Amino acid sequence: MSTFGQYFRVTTYGESHCRSVGCIVDGCPPGMILTEDDIQPQMTRRRPGQSALTTPRNEKDRVEIQSGTEFGITLGTPIGMVVRNEDQRPKDYGGSTMDLYPRPSHADFTYLEKYGVKASSGGGRSSARETIGRVAAGAIAEKYLNLSHGIEIVAFVSSVGEQQLFPPTTTYPNPTSNPEFLELLKTIDRKTVDSFVPIRCPNTEAAEKMTKVIEHFRDRQDSIGGTVTCVIRNVPVGLGEPCFDKLEAKLAHAMLSIPATKGFEIGSGFQGCEIAGSTHNDPFVVATVQGENGSKQRLTTKTNNSGGIQGGISNGADIYFRVAFKPPATIGQAQTTASYDFEEGVLEAKGRHDPCVVPRAVPIVEAMSALVVIDALMAQNARETAKNLLPPLPQTIPTRPTGSKPPAQASEAQ
């Protein structure tokens, strides 16, 4: 299905060589200021040719809002968005130019098997151009999240090949417990990330090393993978729908739907499996926050191995997770493989292609994050509104003798 979300619904269309790619955003709240200027920056960050990022005249991948706004204000009706494909000519329909070989580890073979027909050139629907609609929709979601709740979403490259932004140390074998890492999560912004273009790893030394890794593989007409880490700040407590639609389940779904991804981990992740519960648990502490009516107390956690989500529901702490991207499948090196006609042979893919996708994946990870969070937010806001319209219960939560000695808590395996 080409639709994502229940409340803020995004439906995309488009192949690599058709007239245009785009999407319809259904469910955007009415009354929000919105123009193409809110959307274009993320489109440009996603675009091929990142070094041209600052060139103002580059008109490629221009998004056009078709509907759903008037005088730059959202109407609450579906927002259609279109991005022209500049070179929309598919290959001539003839044997000599048709691909004989499905690219290894690419979608050529599985698409043809699935549909029985296949776009004749480029990746068709499996092309990275498919992500344009996601990024456009994500930019709208982000604007709402930021305006309404101050939510901030920032992704950055955390590894390329074996080169890590935070390699394990003796003191911090799991980087997610490294105070430097946690501090970075609190402060990193997109401007800083983009100052490290084309790598988008916010550390000079690491970025340089990663650049060399990519150059190494590029020069051999080979490719290499990497990881992107993303943080979402200022998320209200209570987002995420048990049981199947836990917040981390939706994030995992969203991330693994991005082309070339191989893994997802939240908070302490895979390495968290190797830590004792007594260390891994995030104890509660009391925080004082300033609200509209003076300061008040609320619970927060001392550590954040949970990655901001407990029991599938956001707990108010920073949400952070990591996504694995494999080395791109299309490489210039000769590969011994087999043709659609069951002939063994050698494929050499010509043309320009990314030797590593993670720098350009950054805005896509942010966009999909925004789509997950806005949907969970609208679901929870709907629930709270529905609840608040009920008459108050005589006694919702039983009175507890404040400060009394806490009883031991009994639980049992279920």
Q: What residues from 153 to 182 belong to the interface with a copy of itself (CB under 8 A)?
A: 159, 161-162
Check if the beta carbon of residue 200 is closer than 8 Å to that of residue 194. Answer: yes
Q: Is 325 in the site for a copy of itself (CB under 8 A)?
A: yes
Residues 32 and 209: their CA atoms lie apart, in Å, by: 43
Q: What is the token pair recorded at 369? A: 């994050």
Interior angle at CA 182, CA 177 and CA 184, nearest 5:
140
Residues 283 and 300: their CA atoms lie apart, in Å, by: 8
- Choose the binding region for a copy of itself from 181-189, 191-199, 201-209, 307-315 (rule: CB under 8 A): 307-315
In terms of Cβ atoms closer than 10 Å to its own Cβ (0-12, 13-18, 19+), residue 113 is exposed
Residue 193 Cβ vs a copy of itself, minimum distance, rounded to whole Å:
19
Q: Is 16 in the site for a copy of itself (CB under 8 A)?
A: yes
Residue 174 Cβ vs a copy of itself, minimum distance, rounded to whole Å:
11
Integer-rounded Cα radius of gyration of the chain: 24
Q: Is 53 in the site for a copy of itself (CB under 8 A)?
A: no
Residue with smaller CB distance to a copy of itself, 184 or 254: 254
Residue in 153, 20, 159 with CA at minimum distance from that of residue 82:
20
Instruction: State the catalytic residues.
Output: 17, 106, 354
Residues 145 and 153: their CA atoms lie apart, in Å, by: 9
- Choose the binding region for a copy of itself from 37-45, 182-190, 196-204, 234-242 (rule: CB under 8 A): 234-242
- Choose the binding region for a copy of itself from 35-43, 104-112, 178-186, 195-203 (rule: CB under 8 A): 104-112
Residue 210 Cβ vs a copy of itself, minimum distance, rounded to whole Å:
12
# residues contacting a copy of itself (CB under 8 A) = 218
From 223, 319, 364, 373, residue interacting with a copy of itself (rule: CB under 8 A): 223
Residue with smaller CB distance to a copy of itself, 36 or 208: 36
Residue 72 Cβ vs a copy of itself, minimum distance, rounded to whole Å:
10
- CA distances to 44, 142, 252, 383 from 146, in Å: 20, 6, 22, 21
Q: Is 246 in the site for a copy of itself (CB under 8 A)?
A: yes
Q: Is 101 in the site for a copy of itself (CB under 8 A)?
A: yes
Q: Is 301 in the site for a copy of itself (CB under 8 A)?
A: yes
- Choose the binding region for a copy of itself from 37-45, 185-193, 198-206, 241-249 (rule: CB under 8 A): 241-249
Q: Is 363 in the site for a copy of itself (CB under 8 A)?
A: no
Tell whether the torsion through CA atoms of 72, 73, 75 and 80 is positive or negative.
positive
| 253 three-state secondary structure | helix
Residues 156 and 363: their CA atoms lie apart, in Å, by: 9
